[in-house]
């Protein structure tokens, strides 16, 4: 559609699933896109297909965000959109059985990584050439409200980023910045991560309904008529 021409966008976790689709859509709409991830092979394919720039870094590492800040200021000159999408669930379990190392790793990516994404975005958006403005979108989950008993760290992290998004929005408004921060709460989307969960839990088949787009309004929703996985 070209409505994002002249804009620069960041997508974390952009080498698979929702992130990969976001990179493609933002690029199609005219934005110059920077995306992060850990799969260099997938990143090369995405970059070749979309023209997006791959930044290899870990969202939970402040040093990588310092490198990202330098890249944007030197090569792009602005940041208009930040989609904090990177997340994981590896090693998750119930509150009774989860290991502390797994808990810490999941929260490092899903919560600290999102905080560092928002922090870097606000700092860059403050210095946009035409004034402080931009949009930060945090990818939470329906599990923020419908917690899963066997995914305690994932559910907790997705609830926590709702408060993070509100705090970020209030901070920006209080400073008079035209920087929005919103969270989205997708339902079940058949990404590589969700498929992996289903493959490891055969009893979950049929209980996970994928999101589907309404033909009339385009909204994404879980359909009772969707095919069982």
Residues that are catalytic: 154
Beta partners for 98? none
Q: Which residues of 80-99 are buried (b: 16+ CB within 10 A; e: fewer)?
A: bbbbbbbbbbeebeeeeebe
**Nearby residues of 107 by Cβ (< 8 Å), 6 or more positions away:** 153, 156, 157
Q: State how far the Cα of 62 lies from the Cα of 73, in Å rounded to an integer.
A: 17
Q: State how far the Cα of 184 lies from the Cα of 141, in Å rounded to an integer.
A: 7
Residue 65 has phi, psi (to 5 degrees) of -70, -30
Contact 74, 53 (CB under 8 A): no
Q: State how far the Cα of 34 lies from the Cα of 85, in Å rounded to an integer.
A: 13
Contact 27, 33 (CB under 8 A): yes
Torsion on CA atoms 100, 97, 198, 165, rounded to nearest 10: -50
Do the bridges between strand 81-84 and strand 211-213 make them parallel or antiparallel, or are there none, so unpaired?
A: unpaired
């Amino acid at each position: 559609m070209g409505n994002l021409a002249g804009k620069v966008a960041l997508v974390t976790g952009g080498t698979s699933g929702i992130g990969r689709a976001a990179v493609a859509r933002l690029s199609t709409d005219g934005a110059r896109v920077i995306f992060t991830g850990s799969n260099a092979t997938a990143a090369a394919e995405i970059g070749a297909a979309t023209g997006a720039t791959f930044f290899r870094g870990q969202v939970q590492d402040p040093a990588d965000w310092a490198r990202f800040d330098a890249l944007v200021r030197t090569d792009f000159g602005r940041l208009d959109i930040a989609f904090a999408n990177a997340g994981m669930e590896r090693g998750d379990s119930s509150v009774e059985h989860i290991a502390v190392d797994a808990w810490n790793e999941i929260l490092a990516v899903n919560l600290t990584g999102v905080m560092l994404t928002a922090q870097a975005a606000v700092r860059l958006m403050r210095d946009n050439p035409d004034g402080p403005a931009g949009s930060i979108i945090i990818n939470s989950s329906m599990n923020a409200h419908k917690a899963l008993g066997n995914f305690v760290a994932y559910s907790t992290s997705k609830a926590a980023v709702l408060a993070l998004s509100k705090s970020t929005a209030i901070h920006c408004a209080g400073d008079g910045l035209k920087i929005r921060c919103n969270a989205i709460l997708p339902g079940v989307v058949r990404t590589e991560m969700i498929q992996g969960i289903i493959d490891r839990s055969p009893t979950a088949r049929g209980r996970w309904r994928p999101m589907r787009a309404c033909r009339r309004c385009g909204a994404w929703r879980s359909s009772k008529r969707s095919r069982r996985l």
